[in-house]
Chain A
Amino acid sequence: MKKDHLKGFKVPEGYFEQSKKRLYAIALDKEQEVTKPVLRPLLRYVWYSMAVAASVTLVYLAVFRQDENPGFDEIDEQQLVEYINAQPQMYWQHTLELEVLESQVQNLDRTPDLSEEQIQEYLLQQEDLFIETLL
């Protein structure tokens, strides 16, 4: 009995061949799992922390900052008028500054015409000054 204890046992035809292929597939699969690069614990911690921080920042920007600093195209004309009306002081201040500039330009126009002699005399004076600076 002891010698032929496996006599009554059978396996399906070609079982061991098929089994070998399946077990080889398992081995291959597990080998790939094992050879996957493993991040060191500290590096993994830093990596996760950075990923979480970036995600939080993105969510904050997307949710809380979306109404701030809109593009010029996004400003409605009506909103712009309302804004200017709401701050009349600032508007008039800017207008006054513009008027000053315009008056200066007009003064330039009013400068009397210089004669050719006057211009040449002026340039000669400047030439002397220029040579002095070179020396």
Chain B
Amino acid sequence: MEHFQQALYWHIRKIVFLHEDADDVLQNTYIKVWKGLVNFRKDSKIYTWLYRIATNEALSFLRSKKAMHEEVEAALWNIQTDPHFDGDEVQVLLWQGINSLPEKQRAVFVMKYFDDKTYVEMAEIMETSVGALKASYHHATKKIKAFVRDKDLFI
């Protein structure tokens, strides 16, 4: 598990963005992992299984957070004042664009764009079809481009 600690943390952080949130989600992921270890199917890859739990935890965290803060602006404001982020203007804009995506699209986008995961791998992690993932990624890139264009900047 130690081997995956940092990888899982950064995977979660790219979805939930804030360090404190990522830390909480990582802990919940570990609890779920140890609870489910007995039922872990030996035929599936441990890597895929861990990423699936981490992704699901991150997405359900975002959903519950969204339910508490209805305004997306509130979440964006948090990113800009995050003491654990010191990216430049372009980076801030890109991550704001990613943060504006619906939860699932965000997870698909970061896995494909940053982690270069194949659609097959992502399909295993997110337990969905390759076709649905392709469509999701396509919509996500379009939305981010539109978001950046609206801010009069280009990636």
Contacts of B91 in A (CB 8 A): 1, 5, 7-8
Q: Contacts A1-B94, A9-B84: A26 and B30 contacting too (C-beta < 8 A)?
A: yes
* A interface residue count range (under 10 / 10 to 19 / 20 to 34 / 35 or more): 20 to 34
Q: State the CA gap A9–B15 with chains docked (Å).
A: 13
Q: Is there a chain B Cβ closer than 8 Å to A12's Cβ?
A: yes
A2 contact from B1, B10, B88, B113, Cβ within 8 A = B113
A8 contact from B34, B37, B85, B155, Cβ within 8 A = B85
Q: Is there a chain A Cβ closer than 8 Å to B6's Cβ?
A: yes
Q: Is there a chain A Cβ closer than 8 Å to B52's Cβ?
A: no
B85 contact from A2, A10, A31, Cβ within 8 A = A10
- Spot the interface stretch: A14-22, A61-69, A71-79: A14-22
**Contact flags (1/0) for B21-46 with A, using CB distance below 8 Å?**
00100110011001101100000000
Q: Which of A11, A15, A20, A34 has the largest number of chain B CB atoms within 10 A?
A: A11
Residue of A nearest to B92 (CB): A8
Contacts of B9 in A (CB 8 A): 11, 16, 19
Q: Is there a chain A Cβ closer than 8 Å to B152's Cβ?
A: no
CB distance from B80 to the nearest CB of A (A): 12
A23 touches B114 (CB 8 A): no
Q: How many residues of B contact A (CB 8 A)?
A: 31
Q: State the CA gap A107–B6 with chains docked (Å).
A: 109
Q: Which of A19, A23, A30, A31 has the largest number of chain B CB atoms within 10 A?
A: A23
A34 touches B38 (CB 8 A): yes
B34 touches A6 (CB 8 A): no
A23 contact from B10, B19, B30, Cβ within 8 A = B30
Q: State the CA gap A7–B31 with chains docked (Å).
A: 29
Residues of B within 8 A of A (CB): 1-2, 5-6, 9-10, 13-14, 19, 23, 26-27, 30-31, 34-35, 37-38, 84-88, 90-92, 94-95, 113-114, 155
Residues of A within 8 A of B (CB): 1-2, 5-12, 15-16, 19-20, 22-23, 26-27, 30-31, 34
The 7 closest A-B pairs by CB, nearest first: A8-B87, A30-B34, A8-B91, A10-B84, A23-B30, A26-B30, A5-B114
